[in-house]
Structure 1
Amino acid sequence: MDVPSVAVLPLLVVAAAGVYFIYNWVLRFLSPSLVRNKVVVITDAVSGVGSECARLFHQGGARLVLCGTSWDKLESLFDSLTSDADLKETFAPKLVILDFSDMESMHEVVAEVGECYGCVDVLVCNSSMKLKAPVQSVSLELDRNIMDINYFGPSTLAKGLLPTMISRRSGHILLVNSIQGRLAVPFRSSYAASKHAAQAFFDCLRAEVEEYGISVSTISHTFINASGPEPGDTHTQAKPGGLAAFISSQLTHGVSPAALAGEVVRTVSRKRKEVLLAHPIPRVALLLRSLFPPLLFSVLAAGVKDSDMAEQM
C-alpha cells in the first residue's frame, strides 16, 4: 500500500526524532564506559558539582586527580568514593591541594598534577567564586581575587598541562563556566567579567589546539541550585502578579549539581564544543543580546530601578 505524499514528511520527522532519541539514549548509557582508564583532573572537586563529577567519573573507571583547597575535605571525598568501590573496576583517586587564589603556587601544582600519572586525558575546570554587589562597592583587591579564581587560575592550569596533550596529540579540556560568561547581569560586574574572560580564553584555545586533536568544551549554566534559591543570595520575594513576578519565578530555577555533573560526563564523551544549560528566560535574553541589544539594556536598566526586580536579578 502506497503512503500518501502528504504523510511522508511527518513520517520522516517522527523517524528522525526516534533515531535521535535512541542515539542519545545509547550515548547516555555508554558515557561512563567511555572514560574508563582516562586520567581525569577535576578542580574544586570538593564542591557539590565537583564531588558529583568525581563520583560519576570514578564509577566509569577513570583515574582521578582530585584538586581542592582543603585536605580534610579531599580525604573525606576520597573515603566516600573508595569505601564501597570495587578495586578491580576502579582506581583510588589521587589528591592535590590547589588554590587558585594563590597564583604563586601554580607552577608546583601543575608539576604535581602532571606527575600523578605522567599525562592528563581530561581536565575539568570547575572552580568558581561568586559575588553579588554594586560596582562601586567592589574593591580592586576583590576584583583581582575573583579574576584569579575564575580566569587566571583555570587558564594557567590549562596552559601548564597543554604541552603534554600536544605531544600526545590528544586530550580534552572542559570549562564549567556560567551563562554570565555570555550575558552580563546587574550587580554581578566582577563575576560576569571574569566569566566573560574565561569564555573568551577557552574559545580561542579551542581553535588553536584543534590541529593537535585536542578538544575544548565550555558548559554555560544558570546558577547551581542544590536546594531551592540561589546559594548566597538573600532577597525578598517579588510582589504577586506582573512582569517582575514572572521573571522572578523563572530566576528561582537553576541546575542541580547532579544534572550538571551528568552533562559534564556526556560532554566529555561526545566531545561537544559548547553546551548551554538554561531555562527559556536566559535563552531569550541571549537572543536579545545578539539581535536587539538596546531592548535588553532597557529591560535590565528598568529592572534595576525596580527594587523588587533588582533584588531578584
Structure 2
Amino acid sequence: MALPSVMVLPLLIVVAAGLYYIYNEVMQFMSKSLVRNKVMVITDAVSGVGTECAHLFHKGGARLILCGTSWDKLESLYNYLTDDADPRELVILDFSDMGMEDVVAEVLECYGCVDVLICNSSMKLKSPVQSVSLELDRNVMDINYFGPSTLAKGVLPTMISRRSGHIVLINSIQGRLAVPFRSSYAASKHAVQAFFDCLRAEVEEYGIVVSTISHTFINASDSPLAEGPAPKPNILAAFITSQLIHGVSPSVLANEIMQTVNRKRKEVMLAHPIPRVALYLRFLLPSFLFAVLAAEVKDSVLDE
C-alpha cells in the first residue's frame, strides 16, 4: 500500500534527522578514539575555551599538559577532571613566573614529546590608539604573538625528528579584519596569523600540520566589549559592527578545535555571515568598508 503524498515529506524529515543523529554520534565516538594517548598541550587552560577543550580531550583519553598563570585555578581544574573512576594522565603547569623557553623545557620534560600543541592564550584590549602606551603594546604582542611563536619553535625539533605533530592556533577574525579601537589587538593577531601561515608551508614536508582557527569574540561575562557607555552610531554601521563582534560560545569553539585536530584542517573560519561578507568587502570594496567603520567612530565620538 502506497503512502499518501502528504506523509512523504514528514517521513523524509524524520529519516534525515535520524541519519544526522547517527552521523554525529559516530563522529563523536571517532573524535574520542583519534586523540587517545596523544600528548596534548593546551595553553590558558583555565579560560572558558581552554577548560572546555580540557574536558573534551580528557574524555577522549588524551594525555594532557594544561598550562596557565593561576595555580589555584589549574589545581581546581585538575581535581575536577580527575574526579572519576578512571583518571587519566594529566599534568598542570603554572608558567606565570617562567620565560617561554623554560615553559618549552618543562613541557618536553613531561612526556618527552608533544603530539598536539593548542595555542589558546590571548590578551584583549579595546582602546583608542592614542590612549595605548608603548609598554601596553609590547605586553599585547608578547602574549598574542611572541608566546605562540616561541612555543611553536620550541616543540618543532621533536616534531621534525618524529615527522609528526599538529600545532593549532586559536586566533581571531581580527587577524584578518581590523575593527576600530582594537589597534594593538588586531596588529598582534595579524602578526601571529602571518607567522603560522608561513610555518604551515615550511613544515608540511615533515608531516607536521599547522591549523589556524579564526573566530569572532568569545561570549563571556567579562567580555571587554562591555566597557563604557554604548554609543549610538548610524544604523548600517551599528549592524555591521554588532555582527563583527557577535561571539561564539566556548563549547562551540572547543568542539570546532576537536574537529580540527581530528580532521587535520589547515584553516577554519568560525564566524557568522556578516563578518565573512566584511572580509570580502575588505578586498573587493575596501573604500566602502572603511567609510562604514569611520562612520561608526565619528558617531561614537559625537555621542561622548
The TM-score bracket by the shorter chain reads: 0.7 to 0.9
- What corresponds to 1:297 in structure 2? 290
- What corresponds to 1:164 in structure 2? 158
Structure 1 residue 133 corresponds to structure 2 residue 131: no
How far apart are residue 76 of structure 1 and its match? Answer: 0.6
- What corresponds to 1:6 in structure 2? none
- What corresponds to 1:117 in structure 2? 111
Residue pair 1:171, 1:213 contacting (<8 A) in 2 also? yes
- What corresponds to 1:277 in structure 2? 270
The code of the aligned residue for 2:299 comes to D
- With 24-33 and 201-210 compared, the bigger mean Cα shift is at 24-33
The code of the aligned residue for 2:278 comes to A
How has the CA–CA distance of structure 1 residues 237 and 220 changed in structure 2, closer, same or farther, with 3 Å as cutoff?
Answer: same
- What corresponds to 1:219 in structure 2? 213
Structure 1 residue 255 corresponds to structure 2 residue 248: yes
How has the CA–CA distance of structure 1 residues 298 and 268 changed in structure 2, closer, same or farther, with 3 Å as cutoff?
Answer: same
The code of the aligned residue for 1:144 comes to R
- What corresponds to 1:10 in structure 2? none
- What corresponds to 1:41 in structure 2? 41
- What corresponds to 2:193 in structure 1? 199
How has the CA–CA distance of structure 1 residues 297 and 243 changed in structure 2, closer, same or farther, with 3 Å as cutoff?
Answer: closer
Question: TM-score when scaled to structure 2?
Answer: 0.87
Residue pair 1:39, 1:64 contacting (<8 A) in 2 also? yes
| 1:211 partner SS | helix
How far apart are residue 27 of structure 1 and its match? Answer: 3.2
How far apart are residue 266 of structure 1 and its match? Answer: 0.6
- What corresponds to 2:178 in structure 1? 184
The code of the aligned residue for 2:59 comes to Q
How many aligned residue pairs are there? 287
How has the CA–CA distance of structure 1 residues 310 and 199 changed in structure 2, closer, same or farther, with 3 Å as cutoff?
Answer: farther
- What corresponds to 1:97 in structure 2? 94
- What corresponds to 2:5 in structure 1? none
Alpha-carbon distance between aligned partners in 1 of 2:218 and 2:121, rounded to the nearest angstrom:
13
- What corresponds to 2:203 in structure 1? 209
The code of the aligned residue for 1:280 comes to P
How far apart are residue 107 of structure 1 and its match? Answer: 1.7
| 1:306 partner SS | helix
Alpha-carbon distance between aligned partners in 2 of 1:169 and 1:85, rounded to the nearest angstrom:
35
Gaps of 5+ in 1: 1-17
| 2:167 partner SS | strand
Aligned-CA RMSD value: 2.5
How far apart are residue 233 of structure 1 and its match? Answer: 2.4
| 1:44 partner SS | coil
Identity of aligned residues (%): 76
Residue pair 1:209, 1:215 contacting (<8 A) in 2 also? yes
How has the CA–CA distance of structure 1 residues 85 and 143 changed in structure 2, closer, same or farther, with 3 Å as cutoff?
Answer: farther
How far apart are residue 235 of structure 1 and its match? Answer: 4.4
How far apart are residue 279 of structure 1 and its match? Answer: 1.1
How far apart are residue 248 of structure 1 and its match? Answer: 5.5
Alpha-carbon distance between aligned partners in 2 of 1:308 and 1:21, rounded to the nearest angstrom:
50
- With 237-246 and 112-121 compared, the bigger mean Cα shift is at 237-246
- What corresponds to 1:76 in structure 2? 76
